[in-house]
Amino acid sequence: MAKAPWSDETLLDEVRNHALPAMQKQGPVVAWIVDDTGFPKKGKHSVGVARQYCGQVGKQENCRVAVSLSVATWNSSLPIAYRLYLPKEWAADAERREKTEVPEEMEFQTKPDIALDQIRAAVAAEVVRGVVLADAAYGTNTEFRDGLTALGLRYAVGVQSSTTVWDSGKQPLPAKPRGKIGRPPRLLQRSTGHQPVSVKQVAMSLPSTACKEITWREGTDRKLRSCFAAVRVRAAHRDYEKAEPHAEEWLLIEWPRGEAEPTRYWMSTLPVETKLKALIKIAKHRWIIERDYQELKQELGLGHFEGRNWRGFHHHATLCIAAYGFLVAERNRFSPSARIGHLGFTAGRPAPGFRPRGSPGPPRAA
């Protein structure tokens, strides 16, 4: 596995082409989901291992991290791209790169940059489009959001409470008036009394009536409900370097009852006429990738790779995803309601004289 020359990208394309049509029989593609997953790992010689945040344990830990892009319907999802994140200390270490056979063309990229490359490849492959979903580790990155917009993709991505925006109806000041000489000024302005605010400040300034209690889906043992508000804002990050303000988009706020302040924020370019419940349902749909990773790790051995090199790490993951793609396709042969009950299969009769291994009786023929 560590030496075989076959292409991960080609095999993942074949898996997608097999599984996606089956998924679409039960409903349309609604989302592309960006995420990363960590693999705790001791030592420092396995490719990409470093002390960094590991979602599996919820803290800084010695681990490897891989970035993935998944395509999702309301009922199913499947990773269609998967790549190891190579920390800066690895990207700059020629000796460790050579020992673990990291390809020469692989340079340091941030996780949002890796995700954007995966998304560009999916666009080029004409994968059925969905709303891009990601957590705040990606959504707070303005270049990531701008990159999605440049590709013609809508998004609903998490952002941190400190993310700055222009509140409803506000935007940067226009460029300075033209002087008598020189080129006319073109960059937007701010002033002491005209500044953007954080999304937390926007939320805290809303009246209590702005939050509505909404149920967005059925959980395993109860309906999932919380209080939400949505307002139109403009992103403000470095807009003083631009000639035109950012377009208006949604700021979605989750503020559960009993909490002193909001717990989650999202920015979204879904259309202005989008209803609040629809906005919440799509923003919350990122949960489905957690189910994928749980099954990939616990049932299909995604985290069990013991090798050290780049190709082996990716080949192992690709084969796990291929097995998962087969299972996803098989599940989608049946409606969600049919999967719960009897599917109508009947077991075939055993061949004459068949005796199960280990049962009492005369010795089996060699």
In a domain, residue 3? The reply is no
pTM: 0.88
In a domain, residue 348? The reply is no
Structure tokens at 334: 């049946």
In a domain, residue 182? The reply is no
Structure tokens at 319: 């084969």
pLDDT in tens, 284-340: 999 999 999 999 999 999 989 888 999 999 999 999 999 999 999 999 987 665 544
The CATH number linked to 217 is: 3.90.350.10
In a domain, residue 2? The reply is no
pLDDT for the residue 340: 47
Where is average pLDDT lowest: 22-36, 130-144, 169-183, 261-275?
169-183
Binned at pLDDT 50, 70 and 90, residue 179 comes out as low
- Name the more confident of 92 and 192: 92
In a domain, residue 350? The reply is no
In a domain, residue 327? The reply is yes
Domain that holds residue 245: 8-173+188-335
Question: Domains in the chain: how many in total?
Answer: 1
pLDDT in tens, 331-362: 998 766 554 444 444 556 667 776 666 556 55
pLDDT for the residue 267: 98
pLDDT for the residue 357: 61
In a domain, residue 361? The reply is no
- Name the more confident of 355 and 282: 282
Residue 212 has pLDDT above 70, yes or no: yes
In a domain, residue 228? The reply is yes
